Amino acid sequence: MRSIQQQCTYCGRTGELTRDHIPPKNLFPKPRPSNLITVPCCETCNASFSRDDEHFRTIVACTEETAQHPEAQKLWEQRILSQLHRTGGSAPHELIKQSFGSDATNVTEFQIHEAEVRIAGVLVRIVKGLHFFEMGVSLPISCEVRFSLDTNLVDVGGPAGAISVFDAARGSRGRDIGDGVFSYRMAEWLGKPGGTIWLLVFFKSLAFLCSTAQETGNAPDKTIIAVMP
């Protein structure tokens, strides 16, 4: 199947292209849903993703709240336990410490550490992929992707409340994929060149608020959601 855009969504390379799943398909236990999103991607980019995807899945599926979700529990049974065993495995709490700093005793409190480039890299890729999927064009190279450190979004009623805020906003778009595994919502950031705002929710309980913009500015926060039309 040939894609309409004959360019890699991430690096712009042309030529032989494959498809990349957004979010990574390893987040979905089998049997996988039929409405997974894919975007055009070159072989080089695609080959570079798999280890980070595995790490991302382990972290995202093992927070105190996400681990309670039935689909996350299926992932643990199907994949993650054997993955940890195979890699000589750190226990989940060790992985969390490695990823979010030694002070993190409870992942619901975690902040994305600046050094945690692998997690950040997957989030940026998800935003870029969804940007192409929703807008029909790749995010311009001049645009930055930023994300909020508040993964609980307490002030807007948690991830579910944040989804409601987006759903009530005129012109917002989004999808729910795979029995609560992943939901996203997006809206254009009015008055901001290259500006879009994204809510990414994993297992209904872990949320990242992301934005794109051409110029450096403040990271997105609750204020921005609150003023959306």
Residues that bind Zn ion (rule: CB under 5 A) add up to a total of: 6
CB 139 within 8 A of CB 131: yes
**Among 3-11, 154-162, 168-176, 211-219, which window interacts with Zn ion (CB under 5 A)?**
3-11
Cβ 53 to Zn ion, closest distance in Å?
15
Cβ 192 to Zn ion, closest distance in Å?
26
Residues numbered 60-119 forming contacts with Zn ion, rule: CB under 5 A: none
Site string for Zn ion, 4-23 (x = CB under 5 A): ----x-xx-x----------
CB 220 within 8 A of CB 192: no
- How far is Cα 128 from Cα 131, in angstroms, rounded to an integer? 5
Site string for Zn ion, 32-61 (x = CB under 5 A): ----------x--x----------------
- Write out the residues near Zn ion by the rule CB under 5 A: 8, 10-11, 13, 42, 45
